[in-house]
Amino acid sequence: MQAQKYRTSATHIKKHKWKSPQQLSSKSRPTQIGSDSPRYGRQYMPTILVIDDAAPIRLLLSTALQSAGYNVVEAPSGREGLALYRQHPSDVVIVDMLMPELNGLDTIMEFTREFMNVKVIAVSGMDSDQTMLQTAKLLGARQTLVKPFDLPTLLHAVQYELQH
C-alpha cells in the first residue's frame, strides 16, 4: 500500500509547477520521495551545490540562495564538490570556470560523465571567456552566467533548472 503512495506522490511532483520556495505555502510543497532519503517526510527544499574557489563569492551566492529559501552546500574545489555530490546529490550545481586543481570544464565533464541528469550552471568571471562558457555548454552545463551578474538573474536560472 505504501509503495503505491510513493508512486502517486512521484507523479504529483513531476506535474508540480515549481515556484520559488517562498511562493509555495508549506502545505503545497512536495516532500522528498524514497525511504532512503534523509529528508523523507519533511518539507522538501531544493539543495544547491556551489563550487567556487573564492570564499567571498561562495558566501555571496550561498547567502542569496539561502535567503531565497534554498538549502546550500559549498565546496572550494571541483574535487570536493564531486565528493559532496556523490554523498548527497543536489538539485542544481553552480560551478565556477576558473579554479585551481580541477577547473570548471573538467569538473563539468566529471559531473556529466558520472551523473547523467545533473543540472549544472557554469559561471565565469571573465567576459572574454565566452569560448570557455560555450565549451561548458557542450560538456553539459545547462546555463552559463558571466560575472558580475545580478542576483535575480541567478535565482531565475536556478528556478528554471528546478522546473525542467
Question: What are 12-42's pLDDT values in tens digits?
Answer: 334 434 444 444 433 333 333 233 445 455 6
**Is 147 exposed, middle or buried, given 0-12, 13-18 or 19+ CB atoms closer than 10 A?**
middle
Question: pLDDT at residue 138 above 90?
Answer: yes
Rounded to two decimals, what is the model's pTM? Answer: 0.73
| pLDDT of 131 | 86
Rounded to the nearest 5°, which phi and psi values hold at 56? -65, -35
Residues 53-88 as b or e (16 or more Cβ within 10 Å = b) = beeeebeebbebbeebebbbbbbbbbbebbebbeee
Strands 141-146 and 47-51 turn out to be unpaired
Cβ contacts of residue 157 below 8 Å, gap of 6+? Answer: 121, 143, 145
Provide the CATH number for the domain formed by 46-163 in this structure. 3.40.50.2300
